[in-house]
Amino acid sequence: MDSNQSIPKVVVTGLGVVTSLGHDVDTFWENLLAGKSGIRRVQTMDASQLPCQVAAEVLDFQASDYMDGKEAKRNDLYTHYAMAASRLALKDGGLDHEAWDPDRVGVVIGSGIGGMNTIETQSHRLYEGGPRKISPFMIPSLIANIASGIVAIEFNARGPNLSVVSACSTGAHAIGEAMHMLKRGDADIMLAGGSEAAITMLGMGGFCSMRAMSTKYNDNPTEASRPFDKGRDGFVMGDGAGVLVLETEAHAKARGAKIYAELAGYATTCDAHHITMPAPDGSGLAKCITRALNFAQIKPEDVDYVNAHGTSTPYNDKFETAALKLAFGDHAHKLMVSSTKSMTGHLLGAAGGVEAAAACKTIADQVVAPTINQVEADPDCDLDYVANTKREAKVDVIVSNNSGFGGHNASLVFRKYA
């Protein structure tokens, strides 16, 4: 980019989601506002031997509705979700990939785990039939970068392309890094977000072994994810994908695009504390929020709402509350805070993409989705969590947070587009 040019604004012009609450952004958003939970007893496998037997699965999904059937067979479910969310985002944004300049379009879609279904099924083939039974498509199918590659091939996007892998911060990191690419002038359009399909026996079994998942609500699945509530006992896994169309303001205006919001800020930090536990004082996430707001040149007191990471684990929710108090000071108690994971479950690497889509809809519709299952107050979580019922409110600035194993933090700042 010419040094004499001003740094462009980045705007969001398309949203694509695939979740347990819907396979399009409007259905997803309608269910979020209604406080509907997408968490059920696991249906896609026999989970009776697991301590946690509930999840937010994507049901009634056909990959062939979004990609060639033969290509679908060669790829993992997480790539299917990424392709679907990308196609939906492009449709929502009114973009025709056959008409764009392919060298000016890029893709950054990440996955926290990648092809878990492929790893599991191909391992069975190996142990039951020997190495000759392993599919020649195994490696391309399971690697966490292949979704970005497949989406680029499908839509002839020859610009910047990479995958982010940062556990549960993946989707937010992907969106933030794509923003930087647009601001640098590397592209005019970016597809960015995350995808995950880890609800398998191996995936759920691994998290259960860590004692990270909810086990008290197998008979009441819709109550299992309860961020910030005193009765929370662990997170609930979710599958799906969230992809945003990001554009430079000039490109979006030139084609007359609808604009959901400006992506005004982004930052990333590391707690450097523990492989799974966040820093107890919340300092790492607090610094991330502060840096993202500084990047956006927005004062903390001008933030209206925080879409929290809010996983429903005892430690995360307590420490995230502490982080919000550090970052916002007295304003923390004036903020609206909610966790959509109370309804979608935790989509791991896809969480940031799905929650960014929810943030954009919040600004567009001026209504905040609730945190459901708020029954008993926790003295360590004493902010306004928009309990149980949606709230119509003036929302001009949103911070969307995600944190992941390894101490990774990501904060995105969305601002109403003027």
- In the set 52, 168, 288, 360, the catalytic residue is 168
What does the alpha-carbon distance between residue 153 and residue 158 come to, in Å, rounded to a whole number? 8
Neighbours of 301 (CB within 10 A): 12
- In the set 80, 173, 251, 309, the catalytic residue is 309
- In the set 23, 80, 251, 346, the catalytic residue is 346
What does the alpha-carbon distance between residue 166 and residue 171 come to, in Å, rounded to a whole number? 9
Q: Does residue 168 have an active-site annotation?
A: yes
Give φ, ψ of 410 to 5 degrees. -145, 135
Which residues partner with 56 through β-bridges? 238
The distance of Cα 204 from the centroid of its chain, to the nearest Å, equals 19
Written as one letter, the residue type at 199 is I
For 208, the token pair is: 């259960």
Crossing angle of helices 146-155 and 77-92, in 10° steps, is 40
Report how far apart, in Å, the C-alpha atoms of 295 and of each of 4, 265, 266, 305, 361 are. 20, 5, 7, 18, 22
Four-CA torsion 290, 293, 297, 298, nearest 10 degrees: -110
Report how far apart, in Å, the C-alpha atoms of 403 and of each of 72, 236, 267, 282 are. 31, 16, 12, 11
CB burial string 191-208: b at 16+ within 10 A, e below = bbbbbbbbbbeebbeebb
- Angle (nearest 5°) at CA 17 between 12 and 23: 140
Q: Does residue 309 have an active-site annotation?
A: yes
For 164, the token pair is: 């982010």
Which residues partner with 402 through β-bridges? 410
For 311, the token pair is: 């996983």
Which residues partner with 107 through β-bridges? 161, 191
For residues 266 and 209, is the Cβ–Cβ distance under 8 A? no
For 316, the token pair is: 């995360």
Pure H helices in 226-378: 249-254, 283-296, 314-328, 341-344, 351-365
| Catalytically annotated residues | 168, 309, 346
